[in-house]
Structure 1
Amino acid sequence: MTQLSFWGPDDQRSPAPKVGKVATLRLLITVKAAPNPSARHGETVCVGALSVDPGRRSWIRLYPIHFRDLDDDNKFRKYDIVTVDAVPAVHDRRPESWQPIVGTVRFEHHLNPGPARRRYLDPYVEESMCRLIERTREASDAPSIALIRTHDISGMTINRHRGWTPEQQAKINGYLSQLDILDDHHRAPLQAPRFTGSYRYRCADPRCRGHRQSLLDWEFVALQRRLGSLTDTEAANQLRAKFLDQLCSADRDVAFYVGNQAARPQAFSIGGVYAPPRPTSRHRLRVSR
């Protein structure tokens, strides 16, 4: 299986560019997708976030972010609250897409697990992946990012990655060949992940016949690298234990952060798992937008 483009645009250009001025966005980071080759930007990371500014509550996609090139103070984690200057992405018709301005990411604080995190995110949990896909067929400006509750998860498939396609490898080679020879940064080629993963699940829509969506989470790839000394079987078992048995256990309220591809709006992938502990009836959290 080829690594798919997730939050960022594909190389194909949108015929409907957007225009806009620089804005300062205050964001809760929710997704860091795995790095992917890019002809224009080298190695890029797409980031999904929730705007936490009053009056501007919405999902946000930031692309491109050169994650390995960020200064240490600017390397942010999931569930950090940050501010960043950005402009609407000109060649991406998806309304959530913004292009960050390099060097403007400013860390505020990390949002720890618990009620504070749930107050931000629980109001945005949706019940129907099926309806989300339908909306992309109905309108070109349909939502392209969502947080979808799972009704049940039937399993997780983990396969050996086939490596970069010739087109992806050409992007990597071309970018490295263009670097200034005086650049003193170490530039190692982006390595393909060892495995691909996908979830099989049903959303809460009564019509749902099931979804199978790829997991493109940075943390899924990072864990693979830490398991490099294990056999394929051992490593796959560890990945399944973390991302299925632990994160999707029965005592958690599981929802998936999903995003679509620019060139194929009906093709959604999973950027991460939102899995707070399931509250008891006595302590169920009240939330409102």
Structure 2
Amino acid sequence: MALTKVLIAVKTYPTLSNKYDELVCTAGFLEDGSWIRIYPIPFRKLEYDKQYSKYDWVEVDLEDNASDFRLESHKPKSILTAFNIISHLGTEDSWRIRKEIVLKNVSTNMTELIAQAKDKTKYTSLAVFKPKEILDFKIEKVESEWDKKKLDALKAKAQQLNLFPNSDNPFEVVQKLPFKFSYKFNSDDGIQRTMMIEDWEIGQLYWNCFKRHKGDKNKACEDVKKKYFDDFAKTKDLYLFLGTTREFHLIAPNPFIIIGTFHPKKIVQTSLF
């Protein structure tokens, strides 16, 4: 695929991998509005936060990901491949320029979208989805620590390779979220579904609120719900970015999770009469 221009729209919350340290999945749009997934990206080696932001146009050297059957999936040519930032799309004029790229192909029926994901000629694994109605925002406690075996493997690898010789704290991974956040919604098929949100922004929002409330998890969760339910779901024109995981794409009844939100302001149509 070589040098490719991509509008970054999704950065998932990091997960641990024995092979690549922390991993993130980045997804975005080509200039024609079609989706592309870029994976794996090693979180630490690329100084993730400093490399690129959502809605940056970037150029990156990509190649097909032969280990992934999902057609949208590509990988950087090497683990240290740079993301060259070209420009940034702002939110002027009610996100007009962003909408021109992002909203070219919007799904509204989850049953149809799941069928496309299972269709061997498509294996659709990324989509922009417009829910008919957001019914609730759910918060569930989960394990607050990373898997010990993976953590120990990463520590051993870091020590063996002496990856951080000048660091006072040579091994530090991103904190694992102690909660799972989900939207409950209706789609055009009339079926209620609950789907997990696995997005960098919701993770960062939680930790920022946790810090602001001096370690009060309940208050932090309340603030996350205010943003994602009271604000995004109630006052914004909310779309969901959906994606599948390779592990569960073929076996899960609904392989999709929410990997991001698109939330411009609602445009009020004024009457001509």
State the superposition RMSD in angstroms.
Answer: 2.1
Match of 1:83 among 59, 64, 67: 59
Distance of aligned partners of 1:140 and 1:170 in 2 relative to their CA distance in 1, 3 Å threshold? farther
Per the TM alignment, residue 200 of structure 1 is displaced from its structure 2 partner at its CA by 0.2
Per the TM alignment, residue 219 of structure 1 is displaced from its structure 2 partner at its CA by 0.8
SS at match of 2:75: strand
Per the TM alignment, residue 231 of structure 1 is displaced from its structure 2 partner at its CA by 1.8
On the 8 A contact 1:50/1:59 being kept in 2, the answer is yes
- The one of the two structures with greater contact order (alpha-carbon pairs below 8 A, sep at least 6) is 1
1:14-25 matched pairs, under 5 angstroms:
22-25=1-4
- Answering whether residue 204 of structure 2 is matched by residue 219 of structure 1, we say no
Task: Give per-residue Cα distances to partners, 1:100-126, cap 9 Å, x unaligned.
Answer: 132321001111112111111121222
Match of 1:234 among 195, 211, 219: 219
SS at match of 2:184: strand
- Quick check: 97-106 or 81-90, which moved more? 97-106
Per the TM alignment, residue 270 of structure 1 is displaced from its structure 2 partner at its CA by 0.3
Query: What is the aligned partner in structure 2 of residue 62 from structure 1?
Result: 38
Per the TM alignment, residue 183 of structure 1 is displaced from its structure 2 partner at its CA by 3.3
Query: What is the aligned partner in structure 2 of residue 246 from structure 1?
Result: 231
On the 8 A contact 2:27/2:36 being kept in 1, the answer is yes
- Counterpart CA distance in 1 for 2:163 and 2:143 is 34
Per the TM alignment, residue 222 of structure 1 is displaced from its structure 2 partner at its CA by 0.8
- Counterpart CA distance in 1 for 2:50 and 2:230 is 32
Query: What is the aligned partner in structure 2 of residue 152 from structure 1?
Result: 133
Query: What is the aligned partner in structure 1 of residue 105 from structure 2?
Result: 124
On the 8 A contact 1:84/1:105 being kept in 2, the answer is yes
Match of 2:239 among 232, 237, 255: 255
Per the TM alignment, residue 140 of structure 1 is displaced from its structure 2 partner at its CA by 6.1
Query: What is the aligned partner in structure 2 of residue 93 from structure 1?
Result: 69
SS at match of 1:157: strand
Per the TM alignment, residue 175 of structure 1 is displaced from its structure 2 partner at its CA by 2.1
Per the TM alignment, residue 253 of structure 1 is displaced from its structure 2 partner at its CA by 1.7
Distance of aligned partners of 1:191 and 1:169 in 2 relative to their CA distance in 1, 3 Å threshold? farther
Task: Give per-residue Cα distances to partners, 1:226-273, cap 9 Å, x unaligned.
Answer: 1222422211110101111111224x2211000012122232100111
Query: What is the aligned partner in structure 1 of residue 120 from structure 2?
Result: 139
- Counterpart CA distance in 2 for 1:71 and 1:189 is 12
Task: Give per-residue Cα distances to partners, 1:171-210, cap 9 Å, x unaligned.
Answer: 222122112126325320342113210110012x2x2311
TM-score, length of structure 1 as denominator length: 0.81
- Quick check: 86-95 or 130-139, which moved more? 130-139
Structure 1 unmatched ranges of 5 or more: 1-21, 284-289
Structure 2 unmatched ranges of 5 or more: none
On the 8 A contact 1:195/1:224 being kept in 2, the answer is no
- Quick check: 138-147 or 263-272, which moved more? 138-147
Between the aligned residues of both structures, percent identity stands at 25
Query: What is the aligned partner in structure 1 of residue 172 from structure 2?
Result: 188
- Counterpart CA distance in 2 for 1:81 and 1:260 is 23
- Counterpart CA distance in 2 for 1:234 and 1:127 is 33
TM-score, length of structure 2 as denominator length: 0.86
On the 8 A contact 1:42/1:172 being kept in 2, the answer is no
Query: What is the aligned partner in structure 2 of residue 11 from structure 1?
Result: none
